[in-house]
Structure 1
Amino acid sequence: MISNKKVYFASDQHFGAPTAELSFPREQKFVAWLEQVKHDAEAIFLLGDLFDFWFEYKTVVPKGFVRVLGKLAEIRDSGIPIYFFVGNHDLWMEDYFQTELNIPVYHDNKEFTFNGKTFLIGHGDGKGPGDMGYKRMKKVFTNPFSKWLFRWLHPDIGVRLAQYLSVKNKLISGAEDVKFLGEENEWLVLYAKRKLETKHYNYFVFGHRHLPMIMPVGENSDYVNLGDWIGYFTYGVFDGNNFELLKFEK
């Protein structure tokens, strides 16, 4: 890492929910955060659910989010790497970010090393024990035949239907609804501990849980959940030596 540079992490913005109008102030706040961090960013990681729904037809993507996409394009064009990991709400993302913004898109965890510290990074959905219903449903959603069928819906119908179901089945009411389940019941904590049995990581960084936390899971190893941009407005920052969770107050 370059001296005085930092690596930034954010996830679970869920832009577009519960409505475009109510989402707009959160989008403005996130753009302000991007504007702030670009001045000392070594890299920026977005860990999924940036949108509450996203589907890429061959020639169409959901309209809106122009300020967010424009700011990401500006930052990427300036030479700062941005990495995007799909979440369970934007898992139908394909190559739009790669083609239009030069931002690589990952559909599973990926390892990175910064300043000698090893990171395992991903959205976090479907990891660890339990949640079998979601895991089965994810297989259906990510099946090529399912995506092919959905693509036959006119975008005005498909996007509206998906947005309705997305908001209806999600805790968009705020982060205060999310409760810590205890270390023995947090699936991502258990997942991190299991991964440590075969390989050491200094940091496991995930989203999905909507609950900001940093928890030791082994010797010199921490599990990090980034929270969200619905009620917490939290983000992670690694300065080359330490990882912090901070709240964007602007």
Structure 2
Amino acid sequence: MQLPTGKKVYFSSDNHLGAPNQQFSKPREAKFVAWLDEVKHDAAAIFLLGDLFDFWFEYKHVVPKGFVRVLGKLAEIKDSGIPIYFFVGNHDLWMDDYFEQELGIPVYHRPKEFSFNHKTFLVGHGDGLGPGDKGYKRMKKVFTNPFSKWLYRWLHPDLGVPLAQHLSVKNKLISGDEDAKFLGEENEWLAQYAKRKLESKHYDYFIFGHRHLPMEIKVGKNSTYFNLGDWINFYTYGVFDGEKFELKEYKK
């Protein structure tokens, strides 16, 4: 995509709406909706890099209750002609085709390449990539197995949703989350993943979430890894103006 003059590409990740419960996540939802309402005026595209919800599961005829304001705003923006791309995170990895059918938003389960103004991007949530995190990687294989999803659908939503919400908050192995502590440029595993990818192909930018820490790390002579942070503690997002990528904080 060649960006029109004055247009930008926006990136956001890790809202965890619904955590620790609906009541406490509502102010965060309102703030995120205000951000969406603001960026729509000059957005050429919007990328949501996963964990928009702290838990999401699509039964055949049911999706989790709540999140009406953010879903409505996404529908409005998409209907206005602005493309939105959604990447599944470890908390909403059971997303299926609801976003695609109801909102017209494509959903990706793996990192994907994009090009804007001749700059190449590798974009994804970031869970299960790079070295380490072996416990979560094993758990993810179980969760994404079609038979596991089929079994879970037999739980009534009044049982299945509260159970999953509880485990999402309490069990770090299931959630895949780590303490948000900077490990150092040489030890950040998504930076290591980016360096390995550069061995076979050049990317100008690697854009991920999952770590809940806004960070910028040079991984090659002309390549940079950015982590978007989150909308719990930092309220940070990424923006590409056609020439450079920056991390910014939403302060309203």
How far did 1:81 drift?
A: 0.1
**Equivalent of residue 86 in structure 2, options 84, 87, 91:** 84
Q: Does 1:26 align with 2:31?
A: no
Q: Does 1:206 align with 2:208?
A: yes
Partner of 2:52: 50
Correspondence list, 1:101-180, <5 A = 101-169=103-171, 178-180=180-182
How far did 1:103 drift?
A: 0.1
TM-score (norm: length of structure 1): 0.97
Structural RMSD (CA)? 0.7
Partner of 1:190: 192
Partner of 2:41: 39
TM-score (norm: length of structure 2): 0.96
Partner of 1:173: none
How far did 1:168 drift?
A: 1.3
Partner of 1:181: 183
Partner of 2:70: 68
What is the distance in 2 between the residues matched to 1:9 and 1:124?
A: 14
How far did 1:169 drift?
A: 2.9
What is the distance in 1 between the residues matched to 2:37 and 2:212?
A: 23
Is there any run of 5+ residues in structure 2 with no aligned partner, and where?
A: 173-178
What is the distance in 1 between the residues matched to 2:100 and 2:130?
A: 29
SS in 2 for 1:111: strand
How far did 1:232 drift?
A: 0.2
SS in 2 for 1:103: coil
Count of aligned pairs: 244
SS in 2 for 1:16: coil
Q: Which runs of 4+ in 1 moved over 4 A?
A: none
Identity %: 78
What is the distance in 1 between the residues matched to 2:221 and 2:88?
A: 29
SS in 1 for 2:168: helix
SS in 2 for 1:44: strand
SS in 1 for 2:19: coil
